[in-house]
Amino acid sequence: MKKIIITLVVIGAIITGIILMLSDGSESGYEVPVLNETDDEVAFVRRYVPSVTVTNVSYADSLQEVGRALISGDTLTTGNSGYAMVLFLDESIARVSPSSQMVIRSELNPERNLNLRTHVGMLLGGIFLDVETDPNREFEITTTRAVASVKGTRFGVTADDKIWVEEGEVEVTIRETGEVRSLGNKMYLQVEADGTVDSGELTDQELAELVDEYEILEGDLIERQMKIQFRNRSGDPVEEQIRVFEQSDSSNE
């Protein structure tokens, strides 16, 4: 049964990746970037809250420890309560919210120790990023209807085509029309299903709520074992241990 489940996960990841690649070039406003991809490590999972899985053509792994390396083409998926913090070689950070899925592609420098061009395809959920400033490097996030290109900023992207900026600047291309808009501090843009674009400025409260969703990844996490009891279909009592990750209370330290 386990082999069947893993096989289905891998097939699903492959199909999802194909759909993403086909959709990326479907509109004249955006062209799929051609990257020189290798099997080298392009990022690492620095922190996570289960469940988080990493899939590619040849594997489907559920994360069991931090430090998991990611290569170009990997799909990272978080469960209903899962979070992940991904650290790229250029020290850019992507915080991934629950029920999210993204495909990571990146081209490295000749020394294989720095991301030159990074492309993240958001399929589900959302991410909050810190992208290092460097005019010689590219960092791009795509959704169904928009492309966010950055040079250095703190901003968020959701798979339902919302881009918001805490600080810095993000250039957004509307894929259907090719229109380019620039977002600065506390600004947002939402591309609706009918192609209309809503944009404006976030209130302090709205911005705080967006950022606070990822707060669990900023503090130290403590792993605890929790026992749960339930009855199986036969009515027999069953006890099971699960791992729970909680934020430490640094104020008591």
Give pLDDT tens digits for 182-238.
999 999 999 999 999 999 999 999 999 999 999 988 876 555 555 655 565 577 776
- Sorted by where each begins, the domain ranges of the chain are 2-215, 218-252
pTM of the predicted model as reported, rounded to 2 decimal places = 0.77
pLDDT at 126: 98
Is the pLDDT reported for residue 252 higher than 50? no
Proportion of the chain above pLDDT 70, given as a percent: 74
Cis preceding linkage at 182, omega within 30 = no
Token pair listed for 26: 């479907």
Q: Are 41 and 90 in contact (CB under 8 A)?
A: no
> Which of 131, 109, 112 is CA-nearest to residue 120?
131
133 falls in which pLDDT band (50, 70, 90)?
confident
pLDDT at 134: 87
Q: Can you tell me which residue has the tokens 């990844």?
A: 217
Q: Domain spanning 2-215: which CATH class is it, in words?
A: mainly beta
